[in-house]
Chains A and B, each alone.
Chain A
Amino acid sequence: EAQVTQNPRYLITVTGKKLTVTCSQNMNHEYMSWYRQDPGLGLRQIYYSMNVEVTDKGDVPEGYKVSRKEKRNFPLILESPSPNQTSLYFCASSFGDRVVDTQYFGPGTRLTVL
């Protein structure tokens, strides 16, 4: 089954404790992206990757890191989480940046930073 998976789905942590949220897709997509969703603000792009070893900042990259060493995986790293990073995070992927490419979203990771 074609899908985007994220782990963990729920995470409660404390300020400053490094964490990684994994994202994996099995559709051989070139493009992957991370978003955070906060009430009233909609989805905001954190980082995106056009292909292996190619990443770029989105609208809200501060406090986050990403890597794309393999096509299928795109982990999101929070080196020193802070309470303002409490949010719902989504990973998404698509074949590329063609006009009609559909983005497929993962199920989301709800992160709470105390």
Chain B
Amino acid sequence: KNQVEQSPQSLIILEGKNCTLQCNYTVSPFSNLRWYKQDTGRGPVSLTIMTFSENTKSNGRYTATLDADTKQSSLHITASQLSDSASYICVVSAPLGDYKLSFGAGTTVTVRA
């Protein structure tokens, strides 16, 4: 069973609207949680990295939150643009010294004009 579950699997939103993606993980203990953006046919690009002690991290219109107690994270996209159409991947890292990453299957976001 995958240790990182993302929801929804896909969503469609209108340009200018906001949306929130969810990530639940069971990796324990964990070191940090990352969100990546992957455009079709390209490699993932890092959006945010949060340690277990951080609650929120922003990168422009992207804001990630983390609740280490409930093992949940979310990625909020504000005022979506057509260029936000991509797959968003949640990644959880094991503690330092064991650099194995657990990847979620991703949420595909489609922004329509």
Question: Which residues of chain A have a CB within 8 Å of any CB of chain B?
Answer: 4, 31, 35, 40-45, 48, 50, 58-59, 90, 92, 97-100, 102-103, 105-108
Contact = CB atoms under 8 A, between A and B. Distances in A.
Given A42-B103, A45-B101, A98-B96, A105 B51 contact: no
Given A99-B31, A100-B51, A105-B44, A42 B2 contact: yes
Contacts of A99: 31-32, 49, 51, 93, 96
A88 to B, nearest CB: 9
- Lowest 5 A-B CB distances belong to which pairs? A105-B43, A97-B99, A42-B105, A43-B103, A42-B103
Interface in B39-73: 41-46, 49, 51
Interface of B is mostly: loop
Given A42-B106, A100-B32, A102-B46, A108 B41 contact: yes
A53 B21 CA distance: 39
B46 A103 contact: yes
Contact of A40 (B32, B45, B97, B105): B105
Contacts of B4: 42
